[in-house]
Chain A
Amino acid sequence: MSPTYYLLLSALLFCVGAVGVLVRRNAIVVFMCIELMLNAVNLSLVTFARVNGTLDGQVMAFFVMVVAAAEVVVGLAIIMSIFRTRRTASVDDANLLKY
Chain B
Amino acid sequence: MSLSIFAAAVSMLEAASTYSAPGVVSTGEAVTFWILGPLALAAAAGMVFARNAVHSAMCLIAVMFCFAVFYIVQEAPFLGFVQIIVYTGAVMMLFLFVLMLVGRDSSDSVVEVLRGQRLAALTFGIGLAALLVAALGRALVAVTPAGLGEAGSINNVTGIGRLIFTDYLFAFELTSALLITAALGAIVLAFAQTAAHAKRGQRATVTARLRGEHDRISPLPGPGVYATANSVAVPALLPDGSVAPESLSEIIDSTPVREIEQPEPDAHALTGRPAHLDEAGDLR
Contact = CB atoms under 8 A, between A and B. Distances in A.
If over half of B's interface residues share one DSSP class (helix, strand or loop), that class is named, otherwise mixed; here it is: helix
Interface in A18-57: 18-20, 22-26, 28-29, 31-33, 35-36, 39, 42-43, 46-47, 49-56
Contacts of B25: 1-3
Contacts of A19: 48, 121-122, 124-125
A78 to B, nearest CB: 6
Contacts of A88: 106
Contacts of A2: 25, 140-145
B117 A81 contact: no
Interface residues of B, number: 90
B101 to A, nearest CB: 7
Given A29-B108, A85-B193, A73 B137 contact: no
Interface of B: 22, 25, 29-30, 33, 37, 40-41, 44-45, 47-48, 53, 56-57, 60, 63-64, 67, 70-71, 74-76, 78-79, 82-83, 86-87, 90-91, 94-95, 98-99, 101-103, 106-109, 113, 117-118, 120-122, 124-126, 128-129, 132-133, 136-137, 140-149, 151-152, 156, 159-160, 163-164, 167-168, 171, 175, 178-179, 181-183, 185-186, 189-190, 192-193
A66 interface: yes
What is the size category of the interface that chain A forms with chain B?
Answer: 35 or more
Contacts of A53: 22, 145-149
Contacts of A59: 160, 163-164, 168
8 nearest A-B pairs in the assembled complex, by CB-CB distance: A53-B146, A19-B125, A22-B121, A70-B182, A20-B48, A11-B132, A77-B189, A15-B129
